[in-house]
Structure 1
Amino acid sequence: MKTTYSLICSALLMPALAQAATLIHAGTVITAEGSQVLKNQTLVVEGDKISGIEAGFRSPASGDVLIDLKNHTVMPGLMDMHTHFSYQSSPTAYSEGFTMNEADVALRGATYAEKTLMSGFTTVRELGDSHHISTALRKAIDAGYVKGPRIFTAGKSIATTGGHADPTNGVAYQRMGDPTPADGVINGVDDARKAVRQRYKEGADLIKITATGGVLSVAKSGMNAQFKDDELKAIVDTAKDYGFTVAVHAHGKEGMERAIKAGVHSIEHGTFMDDNTMKLMKQYGTYFVPTISAGKYVAEKAKVPGFFPEMVRLKAAAIGPLIQQTFARAYKAGVKIAFGTDAGVGMHGDNWQEFVFMTEAGMPALAAIQSATIEGARLLGVEQNMGSLKVGKIADIIAVPGDPLADIQLMGKVNFVMKAGVVYKN
């Protein structure tokens, strides 16, 4: 009769059973590691990580799962650096605050999150929400209650009184009240610090501010600077204490340049940046997130009677068509670019169209894909774990049929989605 000791020794001497793996046979692989494009590879996924990338097509061992993507281009999961799951442009959007409850907004947002994931976007930055729904969605997705991308959320955007993200713009005087930092509205340095700390308390991952006027707010200017230098410095310094990056909505030049000099991490939209602004962005290492899709969408909808309030329609018609031109100049100037759509202004699930608009403006298809993979990861500060196909990184993997480097429209035909080793679409 074997003793416990001898049984333990026998177990230690037995060969370890091979762990079952998922093997992906990929005809073409865009790794997003430099300009590397590989042919006829096997990607090996174990758990939530990539454990191997091998030349040729490895035969599966007993228990392995084989996914045949030999006629596809495989690439990292895409990253959209500017989304809004609590919102969707429509002629009724401006009255929804009076007709929709928080639960209604959250449940609708869950459907937008699933659409986004199924379009190949496995990670997003949520840059401004209502009712804290992006924080709740992040938790629900992480817990597996709903399907959606990995969310890095800013929670409520921070504005100044009457600024682009002041939630009381355009309402009757008796309803305006005096929003506070808890509502995302600040005036002065102390308020600025308090608003950042409030976002931390609420569970945000980063900070979003509206440094200039905007298109969709019911306020006259879409361009004017809306924060003073000391307020911007207070926000950036306090954000640094909490490990936050700072994303900045900005259309007008002056507001952008104040924010860049304060040390923010990204400029969103950037419509009226000029050569000096671009020079500053390169000097400070600031990312540009262009959101051409949003500009195209609002410019088109500005032609539809009644779609926007008249004050908004005029701004949409003037500002929307310019963003693609700005992007073309910024790319040519060598500004760092991360992919972002402002989905919610445009339609959720159509995020891929940004690739078409970027390539129309002169960015090569591979660079556009890199802007939505490794560059997004760098902006988030997670490039050690995500953003490219590399052994040891999280297994966020998507595929499209054919060659998107020859036909960028194929980015709208994602038919395989894996997030953290789990297949959501095949």
Structure 2
Amino acid sequence: MIATPRETVLVNCTVFDAVAGSARADHAVWIGADGRFRAVGTADEVLPEARLTGAGIVDLAGGYVAPGLANMHVHLSLGLPGHLGDAVHRANLAELTLLMADSARRSLHAGVTTARLVGESRGADFALRKGIENGAVDGPRIFTAGQALCCTGGHGWDADALEADGADGFRRATRLQIRGGADLIKVCISGGIAGEHEHIHTPQLADDEMSAVIDVAHDWGRKVTAHAGPADSVRRAVELGLDCVEHGYELDDDVTRLMAERGVWYVPTIVVSRCRDFFEASGVPRWLMDRALGAGPRHWESLQLALRNGVPIAMGTDMPPHAEYDGTTATVRELEFMVEAGMTPLDALLSATIRPADWLGKLADLGSIDAGKHADLVVVDGDPSRDISALRTIHLVMKGGVVYRDDRGLSSTTTERAGFANTGSTP
């Protein structure tokens, strides 16, 4: 049975205001039967009118309420060489879709209510997105690039990136993703960690090829993000109109200043160059682990340069959002690393909430706890805008007014029990 939201008011909580960048104590959140926030304010302001609708009351016992997290670099069909890649490549399309659905469910339970997919396999992402939207599958709101684009033999070719060559080839490849339903376009413009026969600094696209992707995507109202390592490849793409950089393993002062000047976003995925335990558990080959961990110091410097020069940053992991990492998830650990690199906890929280909504063009619907927006939220024990590690205590996850995780059974206090699904589950 598909769970549907009901009129509900969350009380006895502190609410993080992502627009003002502050936490509001002793507040209440009214969620409507349409799965959107109806009102946010003090209990005295919210409860009288809400009670007229027969709304159930949920006591959050002093918890902190933050918007659901957005992870902006996700591969639900992650196919790194090793166990993960073997499972993906052996799977037929039905099996692959089920593997991705499981990862989507785990991601949602980890507090990720919005995921930007940046390269998937065989069109399964489009089917999964539809299943989630129809309520048949539990998962985050999906914005997907379809298949990533690469040159022949380029980064990701063995993970089902779509190969093309020449400006005309990349125009066609871009249009094929848009035809399939892509919300954005992902293009690989340099080498990376997971390509055996390349280096991170290997340039892989000519200017006319990058321009072809960007121009077609922009003509169709889609943004373009690029897998990129070296500063020179990033600079060329930024000058051609690129919208976002993934990884940026080897950025420099000049290119980060240019990115800030042009309003080009950065998704650093800093966890991927410091996740030895994940690589070992995934059985990746030694060359991949050595390359990834060896890139760590320079990758860290790139993030610090981006922070220093004011590049707009959104959080993304490249690792599965729910993957176990240092006693928490990859999503939360990424945010902690960003703070360790010099970002304030407030900015880190914004990089995983309202700022992704801005990049996605969904500020009217996502990213903050405001009337009219989708009721996507997490509940934690402390204030993550002051201590980002408070996100390690996520114990309740709601998307669209439906609770998908409730470790402490707080939702059972409501007088209207309907509208809660999978309560008590853990990531």
User: TM-score interval w.r.t. the shorter chain?
Assistant: 0.7 to 0.9
State how 1:152-163 maps to structure 2 within 5 Å: 152-163=143-154
In structure 1, what is the equivalent of residue 256 of structure 2? 278
In structure 1, what is the equivalent of residue 51 of structure 2? 61
Structure 2 gaps of 5+ residues are 407-427
Q: Which amino acid aligns with 2:41?
A: E
User: Which of 44, 68, 88 matches 2:30?
Assistant: 44
Q: Deviations over 1:286-342 (max 9, x none)?
A: 001011122211x5567x599333442342232144323321221122110111111
Asked if 1:194 corresponds to 2:185, the answer is no
Greater mean deviation of Cα atoms: 60-69 or 416-425: 60-69
Query: Is the CA contact 2:63–2:382 (under 8 Å) kept in the aligned structure 1?
Result: yes
User: Which of 167, 185, 190 matches 2:163?
Assistant: 185
Normalised TM-score (structure 2): 0.86
Counterpart secondary structure, 1:222: coil
Asked if 1:395 corresponds to 2:395, the answer is no
Query: Is the CA contact 1:294–1:346 (under 8 Å) kept in the aligned structure 2?
Result: no
Asked if 1:352 corresponds to 2:332, the answer is yes
Greater mean deviation of Cα atoms: 35-44 or 148-157: 35-44
Query: Is the CA contact 1:28–1:70 (under 8 Å) kept in the aligned structure 2?
Result: no
State how 1:123-162 maps to structure 2 within 5 Å: 123-162=114-153
Q: Which amino acid aligns with 1:400?
A: V
Q: Deviations over 1:230-254 (max 9, x none)?
A: 1111111100122211111111111
In structure 1, what is the equivalent of residue 411 of structure 2? none
Q: What is the number of equivalent residue pairs in this alignment?
A: 393
Distance in 1 between residues matched to 2:356 and 2:16, nearest whole Å: 16
Structure number with greater Rg is 1
Q: Deviations over 1:388-426 (max 9, x none)?
A: 112222211221122334442221221121212222223
In structure 2, what is the equivalent of residue 290 of structure 1? 268
Q: Deviations over 1:114-171 (max 9, x none)?
A: 1111111110100001122211111111111110000001111000112102238xxx
Structure 1 gaps of 5+ residues are 1-18, 169-178
User: Which of 108, 117, 131 matches 2:99?
Assistant: 108
User: Which of 219, 234, 247 matches 1:241?
Assistant: 219
Asked if 1:418 corresponds to 2:398, the answer is yes
Distance in 1 between residues matched to 2:213 and 2:376, nearest whole Å: 33
Counterpart secondary structure, 2:73: strand
In structure 1, what is the equivalent of residue 414 of structure 2? none
Distance in 2 between residues matched to 1:53 and 1:97, nearest whole Å: 43
User: Which of 237, 246, 253 matches 1:259?
Assistant: 237
Cα gap change, 1:356/1:246 in structure 2, threshold over 3 Å: closer, same or farther? same
Query: Is the CA contact 1:26–1:73 (under 8 Å) kept in the aligned structure 2?
Result: no
In structure 1, what is the equivalent of residue 345 of structure 2? 365
Q: Tell me by how many angstroms 1:266 deviates.
A: 0.8
C-alpha RMSD of the superposition: 2.4
In structure 2, what is the equivalent of residue 118 of structure 1? 109
Q: Which amino acid aligns with 1:187?
A: D
Query: Is the CA contact 2:348–2:388 (under 8 Å) kept in the aligned structure 1?
Result: no
Tell me which stretches of 4 or more aligned residues in structure 1 moved more than 6 Å.
Answer: none
Cα gap change, 1:51/1:328 in structure 2, threshold over 3 Å: closer, same or farther? same
Q: Which amino acid aligns with 2:312?
A: K
Normalised TM-score (structure 1): 0.86
Distance in 1 between residues matched to 2:365 and 2:381, nearest whole Å: 26
